[in-house]
Amino acid sequence: MSESPREIIAWRMQGPEQPLVQQQLKAPGLGAGQVLLEVAGCGLCHTDLSFLYGGVKTKQAPPLTLGHEISGTVVAAGDGASSWIGKQVVVPAVLPCGECELCRGGNGTACRGQIMPGNDIDGGFASHVVLPARHLCEVSDLGDFELWELGIIADAVTTPYQAMERARVSEGDVVVVIGVGGIGSYGVQIAAARGAQVIAVDVDAQKLARIADYGAAATVDASGLDERGVREAVRAAAKKLSLPRHRWRVFEMSGTAAGQQAAYSLLTFAGTVAFVGFTMDKVSVRLGNLMAFDATIFGNWGCLPELYPAALELVLQKKIAVRDFSKRYPLAEINDVIAAARRHELTARPVLTP
């Protein structure tokens, strides 16, 4: 275990549409229930790009250290949190207060007192980060993984995991995943691990070819197709596999207006549509279908901390392949990585390591 540092090296957002700037910050004192985490790795998420270039405001005004897909080792702790020192952990991207009406009702990811690293407080694009100890997910046995590889569990894996839980995906279900990039690639794998028959939809033929080896029973190339075309192509794929026509679980994970329109158009009788990808764009839908089909629709934000151990176990058992869908980069190259992500040049989720 490393010693507690006197300084933190962080790459910080100065404002919208500006490159991140490396800064040396004095390590702060720790309050009750807080820990200091030495960062092993932090994934770059579409949400980080939205904060920088998509017009989405962070809760804490810049300068701010972004990054919410964090894994690392606790090197110091405040009062009441000393038992965490030396432990390797994954940090939930959404840290509920655990005490409010929403938390008590089982809706912790909607908690109004929640803390999101890289949004409400400084995040993981740094050598160290200060966090509340509550809800940290301990990694007691890495197996043959390195700790940095597990950071993306904090969002890319657990967010679709919670969505599958909420939709009650189980053996024999028909699951349609629209967008098989950063979170969708894991959504396909999670659904397949639960015994579902998965149809993957994307506009990128390379992504579709890859996901066919990781749980997709069928793939649909949506490039050049309108909403109706996507619907017909998915129905044809389901028919070819002799899948049921009803009770489909559809997960929108592209974070695009076109993807959202297509997802809603795939609503079936007694079906479910979950919106997991984020976009600021607006779409127009006929809500009467929701009533007529006796269907369910929901949005999913993050993942409850209590679900993290089960998601982590799927990764450690290699039922979800994180290694094949992520790539390590030095934190010092973060601005180059962000630029490449904006140009859609990356084929794997980048994980920045100090």
46-59 as b/e: b if 16+ CB within 10 A: bbbebbbebeeebe
Q: How many CA atoms lie within 13 A of 303 on its CB side?
A: 31
The pLDDT of residue 1 is 54
Quick one: 291 and 168 in the same domain? Answer: yes
Does 1 fall in a domain? no
Range list of H helices, 215-344: 227-240, 257-265, 288-292, 308-316, 334-342
Residue 258 inside a domain? The answer is: yes
pLDDT of the residue at 3 = 67
3-state secondary structure 6-68: CEEEEEEECCCCCCCEEEEEECCCCCCCEEEEEEEEEECCHHHHHHHHCCCCCCCCCCEECCC
Q: What is the pLDDT of residue 199?
A: 98
Q: Is residue 324 part of a domain?
A: yes
Report the alpha-carbon distance of residue 87 to residue 90 in Å, rounded. 10
Judge if 119 and 166 occupy the same domain. Answer: no
Q: What is the CA radius of gyration of the chain?
A: 20
Question: From residue 100, how far is each of 82, 112, 131, 162, 215 by CA, in Å?
Answer: 25, 8, 19, 21, 39
**Domain for residue 215, yes or no?**
yes
For the chain, the straight-line distance linking the first and the last C-alpha, in angstroms and rounded, comes to 16
| Number of independent structural domains in the chain | 2
d(C-alpha 176, C-alpha 196), whole Å: 10
Show the domain range for 38: 7-155+303-353
How confident is the model at residue 5, as a pLDDT?
Answer: 83
For helices 158-166 and 184-193, angle between their N-to-C axes, nearest 10 degrees? 50
Residues 16 and 129 in one domain: yes
pLDDT in tens, the chain (354 residues): 566 788 999 999 999 999 999 999 998 899 999 999 999 999 999 899 999 998 899 999 999 999 999 999 999 999 999 999 999 999 999 999 999 999 999 999 999 999 999 999 999 999 999 999 999 999 999 999 999 999 999 999 999 999 999 999 999 999 999 999 989 999 999 999 999 999 999 999 999 999 999 999 999 999 999 999 999 999 999 999 999 999 999 999 999 999 999 999 999 999 999 999 988 889 999 999 999 999 999 999 999 999 999 999 999 999 999 999 999 999 999 999 999 999 989 989 999 999
User: Do 16 and 151 fall into the same domain?
Assistant: yes
So what's the pLDDT on residue 237? 98
Is residue 164 located within the same domain as residue 288? Answer: yes
- Amino acid sitting at position 283: V
Q: Does some domain include residue 2?
A: no
Q: What's the one-letter identity of residue 119?
A: N
Give the per-residue pLDDT at 2: 64
pLDDT of amino acid 279: 84
Q: Note the pLDDT of residue 347.
A: 87
- Residue 129, SS3? strand
Domain assignment present for 247: yes
Same domain? For 307 and 171 the reply is no
Q: Based on the domain organization, do 257 and 168 belong to the same domain? A: yes
* CA–CA gap between residue 263 and residue 202 (Å, rounded): 12
Chain center to CA of 258: 20
**CB 191 within 8 Å of CB 168:** no
Query: Is residue 105 classed exposed, middle or buried when 0-12, 13-18 and 19+ CB atoms within 10 A define those classes?
Result: exposed
